[in-house]
Protein backbone atom coordinates (compact mmCIF):
# COMPACT_ATOMS: atom_id res chain seq x y z
CA UNK A 1 0.00 0.00 0.00
CA UNK A 2 1.66 3.23 -1.13
CA UNK A 3 1.59 6.27 1.12
CA UNK A 4 2.11 9.71 -0.35
CA UNK A 5 3.65 10.87 2.94
CA UNK A 6 5.71 8.93 5.47
CA UNK A 7 3.80 7.52 8.42
CA UNK A 8 4.69 8.52 11.97
CA UNK A 9 7.00 6.18 13.91
CA UNK A 10 4.13 4.77 16.00
CA UNK A 11 2.54 3.27 12.86
CA UNK A 12 4.71 0.48 11.50
CA UNK A 13 4.78 -2.85 9.71
CA UNK A 14 5.77 -5.82 11.80
CA UNK A 15 6.45 -9.48 11.04
CA UNK A 16 6.85 -12.69 13.00
CA UNK A 17 10.49 -11.89 13.88
CA UNK A 18 9.76 -8.47 15.36
CA UNK A 19 6.40 -9.26 16.93
CA UNK A 20 7.58 -10.18 20.41
CA UNK A 21 9.63 -7.01 20.83
CA UNK A 22 7.61 -4.44 18.87
CA UNK A 23 4.14 -5.56 19.93
CA UNK A 24 4.11 -7.71 23.06
CA UNK A 25 7.02 -6.07 24.91
CA UNK A 26 6.06 -2.59 23.65
CA UNK A 27 2.49 -3.00 24.92
CA UNK A 28 3.80 -2.67 28.48
CA UNK A 29 4.49 1.01 27.84
CA UNK A 30 1.62 1.88 25.46
CA UNK A 31 -1.37 0.04 23.97
CA UNK A 32 -0.63 -1.55 20.59
CA UNK A 33 -3.32 -2.41 18.06
CA UNK A 34 -2.32 -5.00 15.51
CA UNK A 35 -3.97 -4.89 12.11
CA UNK A 36 -3.83 -8.30 10.39
CA UNK A 37 -4.49 -7.52 6.74
CA UNK A 38 -4.00 -8.82 3.22
CA UNK A 39 -3.76 -7.04 -0.09
CA UNK A 40 -6.46 -9.16 -1.74
CA UNK A 41 -9.01 -8.25 0.92
CA UNK A 42 -11.15 -5.14 0.20
CA UNK A 43 -12.36 -4.73 3.83
CA UNK A 44 -8.68 -4.71 4.88
CA UNK A 45 -7.95 -1.89 2.47
CA UNK A 46 -10.93 0.00 3.91
CA UNK A 47 -9.96 -0.53 7.56
CA UNK A 48 -6.21 0.22 7.51
CA UNK A 49 -6.57 3.97 6.69
CA UNK A 50 -9.23 4.27 9.43
CA UNK A 51 -6.84 2.75 11.98
CA UNK A 52 -4.03 5.02 10.75
CA UNK A 53 -6.25 8.09 11.19
CA UNK A 54 -7.28 7.05 14.71
CA UNK A 55 -3.67 6.34 15.74
CA UNK A 56 -2.47 9.62 14.22
CA UNK A 57 -5.17 11.59 16.02
CA UNK A 58 -4.14 9.98 19.31
CA UNK A 59 -0.64 11.29 18.65
CA UNK A 60 1.36 8.24 19.63
CA UNK A 61 -0.36 7.28 22.88
CA UNK A 62 -1.46 4.22 20.90
CA UNK A 63 0.74 2.26 18.50
CA UNK A 64 -0.49 0.62 15.31
CA UNK A 65 1.37 -2.46 14.09
CA UNK A 66 0.41 -3.80 10.67
CA UNK A 67 0.89 -7.48 9.84
CA UNK A 68 0.51 -8.47 6.21
CA UNK A 69 -0.62 -12.06 6.53
CA UNK A 70 0.63 -13.04 3.07
CA UNK A 71 4.22 -12.15 3.92
CA UNK A 72 6.57 -14.98 4.85
CA UNK A 73 5.94 -16.49 8.26
CA UNK A 74 3.22 -14.02 9.25
CA UNK A 75 0.46 -16.56 8.71
CA UNK A 76 1.95 -18.34 11.76
CA UNK A 77 1.05 -15.28 13.83
CA UNK A 78 -2.51 -15.41 12.52
CA UNK A 79 -2.58 -19.11 13.45
CA UNK A 80 -1.14 -18.47 16.90
CA UNK A 81 -4.00 -16.12 17.72
CA UNK A 82 -6.70 -18.24 16.07
CA UNK A 83 -7.64 -15.69 13.45
CA UNK A 84 -10.36 -16.87 11.07
CA UNK A 85 -10.74 -13.97 8.68
CA UNK A 86 -9.27 -10.63 7.77
CA UNK A 87 -9.01 -7.92 8.69
CA UNK A 88 -8.76 -8.81 12.35
CA UNK A 89 -7.51 -6.31 14.90
CA UNK A 90 -5.99 -7.37 18.23
CA UNK A 91 -5.45 -4.90 21.06
CA UNK A 92 -2.41 -5.64 23.24
CA UNK A 93 -1.92 -3.99 26.62
CA UNK A 94 0.57 -5.09 29.29
CA UNK A 95 1.69 -7.99 27.11
CA UNK A 96 -1.78 -9.49 26.72
CA UNK A 97 -4.67 -9.37 24.28
CA UNK A 98 -7.33 -7.13 25.82
CA UNK A 99 -9.74 -7.05 22.90
CA UNK A 100 -10.28 -7.97 19.27
CA UNK A 101 -12.60 -7.28 16.38
CA UNK A 102 -12.93 -8.36 12.76
CA UNK A 103 -14.07 -6.65 9.61
CA UNK A 104 -14.06 -3.07 8.39
CA UNK A 105 -15.40 -0.57 10.94
CA UNK A 106 -16.12 3.13 10.97
CA UNK A 107 -13.75 5.50 12.73
CA UNK A 108 -16.22 6.28 15.55
CA UNK A 109 -16.70 2.52 16.17
CA UNK A 110 -12.92 2.02 16.49
CA UNK A 111 -12.68 4.97 18.90
CA UNK A 112 -15.47 3.51 21.05
CA UNK A 113 -13.75 0.10 21.04
CA UNK A 114 -10.48 1.67 22.24
CA UNK A 115 -12.22 3.79 24.87
CA UNK A 116 -14.14 0.76 26.20
CA UNK A 117 -10.87 -1.08 26.70
CA UNK A 118 -9.11 1.89 28.28
CA UNK A 119 -6.69 2.23 25.39
CA UNK A 120 -7.58 5.76 24.32
| Cβ atoms of residues 106 and 100 within 8 Å | no
Residues with a catalytic annotation lie at 41, 44
Neighbours of 32 (CB within 10 A): 26
| 98 touches 119 (CB < 8 A) | yes
- Write the DSSP string, 1-38: ---SSPPPTTEEE--HHHHIIIIIIGGGTS-EEEEEE-
Amino acid sequence: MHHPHPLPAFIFDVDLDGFEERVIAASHSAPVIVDFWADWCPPCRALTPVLERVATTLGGQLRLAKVEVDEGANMKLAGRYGLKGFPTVLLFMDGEIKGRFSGARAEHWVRDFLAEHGAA
